Structure 1
Amino acid sequence: MADLNNKLVIAISSRALFNLDDSHQVFIENGLDAYSQYQIDHENDVLQPGDAFPMVQKLLRLNERLGAPRVEVILLSRNSADTGLRVFNSIEHYGLNITRAAFCGGESPYRYINAFGSHLFLSTDADDVRNALDHGVAAATLMASNSESDHGDQLRFAFDGDAVLFSDEAEKIYKSQGLEAFTASERAAAKKPLSGGPFKAFLSALQGLQAEFSEEDAPIRTALVTARSAPAHERVILTLRAWNIRIDESLFLGGLDKGEFLRAYGADVFFDDQPGHCHSAREHVATGHVPHGVANEPSANESIVSDS
């Protein structure tokens, strides 16, 4: 019996994988029936790659490097199977080894994320992403970007810390009491590991793949890119050590804009909970907004990313 055990499983929406802007505009302007007919009329027209396409290509190439199917990409779509035929035709055109899918006929596909054993869900629909996070799966709303990584087949992930890899417990103190109280609290709790955030399990699964390669030849590289600075750095380092998780690069920026650093690192995708940081980063790298934690509560000062 087929199963997905011992695989890194990425679930992705059709609009994250391919550029469906034209057909989506038909849906917005003319409704579902017109959209369905448009997709059927164009089902043999190959879709252009979307923002997640380069990352998916690199993920699937890991199977070639490993000589075994250790990465699985699942398509989750609000399309029906009928209108989704264009998506699968495009998958075949590009030679992507994606064979499993859930076409949900207009309803949200997030309910199948756990059934597929997904470690990560990427979508352009913010509501689906929030539902996935509420059900314990790392998820992000992909924001449009024109930037591409230039590191060949090496796959480079970048993560924010608080409310992404870690819980938002420290960020709550910063938001409610300010930088001085945050710094004092983190210094006092330096030896106490932070609780895990929504992306801890994904990072752990990713490192499981990294461990199958030597450090010199690893096709995956990870970076922590955080607004923290000394002395708040110590708790982060000791937390990762307690989790037995290795991060290849750690950038403690002390509030500096993250965009230029992400460009210099060459991230294929960057995950952050702060909408402001995401809008800055998307100018340089593909960016996923993680609508989790205190920064995304209705009372937060920053606006929440809308569907894109």
Structure 2
Amino acid sequence: MPSDTSLPIVIGISSRALFRLEDENAIFEQEGVEAYRQHQLDAEESLLEPGSAFPLVQGLLNLNEAPSKPLVEVVIISHNSPELSLRIFRSIEDHGLDIRRAAFTSGASIGPFLEAFGVDLFLSRDAASVVEGLERGIASAHLYTPPEGFTPDEQQIRIAFDGDAVIFSAEAERIYQSQGLHAFTEHEREKAKEPLPEGPFANVLRKLGALRAQPNVGPARLSFALVTARSAQTHERVIRTLRQWGVTLDAAFFMGGSPKKHLLSAYKPHIFFDDQDVHCAPAAQITPAGRVPSIDV
């Protein structure tokens, strides 16, 4: 997909990623569609609590200072039926979120609508929908259950990314998986001056960089960090690649294979993106997290 840094950045989000709908989803899975429908109708006047992606969405929408020319747009992309949309719209209004566009597909595939709405980043609690987004070249992540007691920084939005298989392609990671650490290290040293191929989140990182470059934003309001399992021995190729892309990070953490949870606890991102459950699951206990599954394209 060609690079596109034009604004606004468009974020597509499922209703279950934006709001806490764990109980409702359990009814759907255990009792079926009709029980779920009736529950939602009965609870129509009950406002929904924030979900995993709520802090990120709220923070990014707050960057919009001129409603006629927004820097960020959020679109609801939901498998719900239009009949059940009232509770979602009412909760959006109650939480003061400026969300103007939405799609309710009654269970139909959401892939075509991600493209129709020009979505740059798609966040969902439904794994199949995330794969569908990735297959269409859209940066997509499968979000985990919201962490309890998470309190985001209100002045600065912080987004943490893994490197290989997220920002960059999975090429180098495949060498590590198939040939081991020594082969991976030698490979990356040999190719230190050769840019890494782009991964599924490369363009959305560029677009977020364009957002941060706006006069009313800057690093004081929007911060990026790389949190990678790579060691310092393989840092050069990463730094040179980001430099060539024109992307500036505020922090980079080379973990050398160590767990990421405690580092993320210190950085406190609004969301963390990684391709491996072994990193996402522990992180999701303390901060919103989204897994970027690998796909064969």
TM-score normalised by the shorter chain: which range applies? over 0.9
TM-score computed with the length of structure 2 as normaliser: 0.93
Instruction: Compute the displacement of 1:91 (Å).
Output: 0.8
Distance 1:194 1:150 in 2: 32
Spell out the pairing of 1:5-44 with structure 2 (5 A cutoff).
Answer: 6-44=7-45
Instruction: Compute the displacement of 1:67 (Å).
Output: 8.4
Instruction: Compute the displacement of 1:126 (Å).
Output: 0.5
Amino acid at match of 2:265: R
| Residue in structure 2 matched with residue 55 of structure 1 by the alignment | 56
Instruction: Compute the displacement of 1:213 (Å).
Output: 3.6
Amino acid at match of 1:158: A
Distance 2:41 2:25 in 1: 14
Spell out the pairing of 1:1-308 with structure 2 (5 A cutoff).
Answer: 6-64=7-65, 68-144=69-145, 145-213=147-215, 218-292=220-294
Q: Secondary structure at the match of 1:113?
A: helix
Distance 1:48 1:227 in 2: 34
Whether the 8 Å contact between 2:7 and 2:207 is mirrored in structure 1 is no
Instruction: Compute the displacement of 1:162 (Å).
Output: 0.2
Distance 2:193 2:33 in 1: 55
Instruction: Compute the displacement of 1:66 (Å).
Output: 9.1
Q: Secondary structure at the match of 2:273?
A: strand
Distance 1:120 1:274 in 2: 19
Distance 1:213 1:171 in 2: 37
After superposition, the Cα gap between the structure-2 partners of 1:207 and 1:21, relative to the gap in structure 1 and judged at 3 Å, is: same
Distance 1:124 1:70 in 2: 25
Instruction: Compute the displacement of 1:29 (Å).
Output: 2.6
- How big is each residue's C-alpha offset from its partner over 1:51-90, in whole Å with a ceiling of 9 and x where there is no partner? 1111111111010389841110000001011112111111
| Residue in structure 1 matched with residue 3 of structure 2 by the alignment | none
Distance 1:176 1:60 in 2: 42
Q: How many residues align?
A: 291
Distance 1:66 1:223 in 2: 29
Gaps of 5+ in 2: 1-5
| Residue in structure 2 matched with residue 305 of structure 1 by the alignment | none
Give me the CA root mean square deviation. Answer: 1.9
Distance 1:125 1:95 in 2: 25
- How big is each residue's C-alpha offset from its partner over 1:136-188, in whole Å with a ceiling of 9 and x where there is no partner? 00010111122524421311000000000000110010000000000000000
Whether the 8 Å contact between 1:77 and 1:102 is mirrored in structure 2 is yes
After superposition, the Cα gap between the structure-2 partners of 1:16 and 1:188, relative to the gap in structure 1 and judged at 3 Å, is: same
Distance 2:268 2:50 in 1: 19
Q: Secondary structure at the match of 1:63?
A: coil
Distance 2:76 2:217 in 1: 31
Instruction: Compute the displacement of 1:6 (Å).
Output: 2.4
Amino acid at match of 2:273: F
Whether the 8 Å contact between 1:9 and 1:119 is mirrored in structure 2 is yes
After superposition, the Cα gap between the structure-2 partners of 1:195 and 1:91, relative to the gap in structure 1 and judged at 3 Å, is: same
Instruction: Compute the displacement of 1:215 (Å).
Output: 8.4
Select between 218-227 and 16-25 the one with higher mean Cα deviation.
16-25
